[in-house]
């Protein structure tokens, strides 16, 4: 009987810990005109960090580096659509660092918040907060990642750096 109860407890506890791989929607990105400049590298400066993120009644396991990679993949695609060459070996860099990710539940909705920092190769550093809202945490996270890319593509200094 103890073994059955122990097994059921383990299943219940394991069922409460979730993982989510973000899948941001590229069609949701702001359509901003961008004059292509020299090739650029996009670098993930997010330290490896696997952290719990409470999403009542669950606990979500969040890999900060993986979430930043999702934003970088989306940013790469958006820059390439606008004519910018993205190369890992380019001398010009955009560095992205996710510093905090959290979920704020509200009545009938979830709000995902991502704090991050962008650094350009010419020394410009800016921290900002991006967010997304949806009725489920997955869509809220995806929307927050899209907001990260929107913020980068609409930032005047980042746009200037990319167009030089």
The residues that bridge with 102 in the sheet, in sequence order, are 113
Q: Which residues fall within 8 angstroms of residue 113, CB to CB, at 6 or more apart?
A: 100, 101, 102, 103, 104, 129, 130, 131, 144
The residues that bridge with 109 in the sheet, in sequence order, are 106
**What fold, for 2-163?**
Rossmann fold (3.40.50)
The yes-or-no verdict on residue 4 having pLDDT over 50 is: no
Mean pLDDT of the chain: 87
What is the tens place of the pLDDT at every residue in 60-108?
Answer: 999 999 999 999 999 999 999 989 999 999 999 999 999 999 998 888 8
Tally: H helices and E strands in the chain: 4, 7
Instruction: For residue 115, report the phi and psi dihedrals to the nearest 5 degrees.
Output: -100, 130
Identify the H or E element spanning 109: strand 109-120
What is the tens place of the pLDDT at every residue in 115-156?
Answer: 999 999 999 999 999 999 999 999 999 999 999 999 999 999
């Amino acid at each position: 009987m103890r073994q059955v109860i122990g097994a059921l407890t383990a299943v219940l506890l394991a069922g409460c810990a979730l993982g989510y791989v973000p899948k941001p929607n590229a069609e949701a990105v702001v359509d901003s005109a961008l004059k292509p400049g020299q090739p650029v590298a996009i670098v993930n400066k997010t330290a490896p960090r696997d952290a719990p993120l409470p999403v009542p009644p669950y606990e979500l396991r969040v890999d900060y580096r993986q979430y930043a990679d999702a934003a970088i993949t989306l940013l790469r695609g958006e820059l390439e659509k606008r004519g910018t060459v993205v190369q890992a070996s380019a001398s010009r860099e955009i560095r992205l660092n996710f510093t905090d990710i959290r979920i704020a539940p509200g009545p009938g909705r979830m709000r995902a918040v991502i704090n991050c920092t962008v650094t350009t190769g010419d020394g410009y550093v800016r921290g900002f907060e991006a967010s997304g809202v949806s009725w489920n945490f997955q869509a809220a996270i995806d929307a927050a990642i899209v907001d990260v890319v929107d913020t980068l593509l609409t930032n005047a200094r980042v746009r200037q750096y990319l167009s030089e």
